[in-house]
């Protein structure tokens, strides 16, 4: 059955975006082949049902193509980012470039960052072991300079508190995330001055 009551909450959250001067409430960063059709899809749908304006890139970026400028623009125009760290997140240089921009916006403009550790341990990201170590070995000499920056931002985010899938049901995790983001948005913008 289709629910229409989300249209009411949608209008309340769209005002949060206009108050903050940002186009999106959330930018979703994820490794497409890992979670696009399952966890990230369910999370994105749940955020939108709650009226949280969400950007998700559904284009497939091919090797050799430049990072789409609109991705960086979408991050810059977002109040926050949810980063879904999956097993092969670090093997995608596109994901690592997104992550770099997200951390840049966090440090320069107060962009909020919400990590999700989806079947990956934060210690693997911090120590860059296991699949992360394999990923950097594959990036090799070609991206040697970028790798220094990527390693730094991975460590920074791995030191943040976030959600862990562990043995939880995905639907339960999605509910917790949406509730937290919704609460944070309300807290942030309920006291913001209304534009006249």
DSSP 148-177: HHHHHHHHHHHTS--EE-TTS-HHHHHHHH
Residue 13 lies in a domain: yes
The pTM is what?
0.83
| pLDDT score, position 4 | 24
Residue 160 lies in a domain: yes
Task: State the catalytic residues.
Answer: 98
pLDDT 10s digits, 4-45: 233 334 444 444 554 456 899 999 999 988 898 999 999 999
Residue 167 φ/ψ, nearest 5 degrees: -105, 20
The number of domains in the chain is: 1
Residue 54 lies in a domain: yes
Residue 194 lies in a domain: no
Residue 116 lies in a domain: yes
Residue 1 lies in a domain: no
Beta strands 78-85; 112-117: pairing state = parallel
| pLDDT score, position 192 | 54
Which residues, given as ranges, of the chain have pLDDT below 50?
1-15, 18-19, 59-62, 195-196
d(CA 126, CA 93): 17
Residue 81 lies in a domain: yes
| pLDDT score, position 21 | 63
| pLDDT score, position 122 | 93
Residue 191 lies in a domain: no
| pLDDT score, position 61 | 45
Q: For residue 112, what is the domain's CATH number? A: 3.40.50.10140
Segments forming the whole domain that contains residue 82: 6-58+67-186
pLDDT 10s digits, 166-177: 888 999 999 999
d(CA 35, CA 161): 21
| pLDDT score, position 18 | 46
């Amino acid at each position: 059955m289709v629910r229409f009551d989300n249209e009411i909450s949608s209008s309340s959250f769209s005002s949060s975006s206009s108050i903050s001067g940002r186009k999106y409430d959330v930018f979703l960063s994820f490794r497409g082949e890992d979670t696009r059709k399952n966890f990230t899809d369910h999370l994105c749908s749940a955020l939108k049902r709650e009226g949280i304006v969400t950007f998700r890139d559904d284009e497939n970026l091919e090797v050799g193509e430049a990072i789409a400028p609109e991705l960086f623009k979408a991050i810059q125009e977002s109040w926050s980012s949810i980063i879904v760290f999956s097993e092969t997140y670090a093997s995608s240089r596109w994901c690592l470039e997104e992550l770099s921009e997200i951390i840049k916006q966090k440090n320069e403009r107060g962009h909020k960052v919400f990590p999700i550790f989806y079947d990956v341990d934060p210690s693997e990201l911090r120590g860059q072991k296991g699949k992360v170590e394999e990923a950097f070995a594959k990036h090799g000499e070609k991206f040697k300079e970028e790798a220094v920056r990527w390693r730094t931002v991975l460590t920074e985010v791995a030191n943040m508190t976030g959600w862990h899938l562990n043995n939880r049901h995905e639907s339960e995790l999605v509910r917790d995330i949406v509730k937290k983001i919704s609460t944070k948005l309300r807290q942030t913008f309920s006291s913001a001055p209304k534009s006249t």
